[in-house]
Chain A
Amino acid sequence: MDYLNFTHYDHIKGRTLSFLPHLSAPTDKFKNFLLYPYPISYKINSRGFRDSEWPSDLSNIVWCLGDSVTLGHNIPFEHTWSSILQTKTNIRCVNLGIVGASNELLTKMTLQILREYSPKNIVIMWVFFTRRHKDPWNFIDFESLDDDVNLKNFIECYHKVNNSDFSCNIINLLMTDQPKTLLPQSISQNIFHTNKVDYGRDLFHFDYKTAEIYVDHILSKLT
Chain B
Amino acid sequence: MSPYLKPLKRILVVTSTYENFSNFYSQLLEDNMIDLGKLEDHYISNYFQLLTFLISQQTSIICSVSHQGLFEINETPKFFIKSCNIFFQKIVCFEKPNKWVTKNFQGVNYIKHNL
Residues of chain A touching chain B, judged by Cβ–Cβ distance below 8 Å, are 20-21, 23, 31, 33-35, 37-41, 76, 78-79, 83-84, 87, 208
Contacts and interface: CB of A to CB of B under 8 A. Distances in A.
B2 A38 contact: yes
Given A20-B52, A33-B55, A208-B2, A38 B87 contact: no
A12 B86 CA distance: 35
Contacts, number: 42
B5 interface: yes
Closest 8 CB pairs of A and B: A37-B7, A78-B4, A39-B58, A34-B87, A39-B59, A38-B5, A34-B86, A78-B5
Interface in B75-89: 79, 83, 86-87
Interface of B: 2-5, 7-8, 48, 51-52, 55-56, 58-59, 79, 83, 86-87
Nearest to A212: B3
A133 B31 CA distance: 59
Contacts of B7: 37-38
Given A34-B55, A37-B8, A38-B8, A79 B2 contact: yes
B86 A31 contact: yes
B5 A79 contact: yes
B86 A76 contact: no
Given A20-B55, A87-B4, 6 more contacts: A23-B51, A34-B83, A38-B7, A83-B4, A84-B4, A208-B3
A39 B87 contact: no
Contacts of A38: 2, 5, 7-8
A40 B58 contact: yes
22 contacts: A20-B52, A20-B56, A23-B51, A33-B55, A34-B55, A34-B86, A34-B87, A35-B87, A38-B2, A38-B5, A38-B8, A39-B8, A39-B59, A40-B58, A41-B59, A78-B5, A79-B2, A79-B4, A79-B5, A83-B4, A208-B2, A208-B4
Nearest to B1: A37
Contacts of A35: 86-87
Nearest to A31: B86
**Which of B5, B51, B86, B87 lies at the interface centre, i.e. has the most chain A CB atoms within 10 A of its CB?**
B5
A37 B5 CA distance: 10
A34 B52 CA distance: 11
Most B Cβ at <10 Å: residue of A21, A31, A38: A38
Given A34-B55, A35-B87, A76 B4 contact: yes
Contacts of A34: 55, 83, 86-87
B58 A41 contact: yes
A83 B4 CA distance: 10
A79 B55 CA distance: 19
B19 to A, nearest CB: 28
Contacts of A33: 55
B84 to A, nearest CB: 9
A78 B86 CA distance: 25
Nearest to B48: A23
A121 B21 CA distance: 54
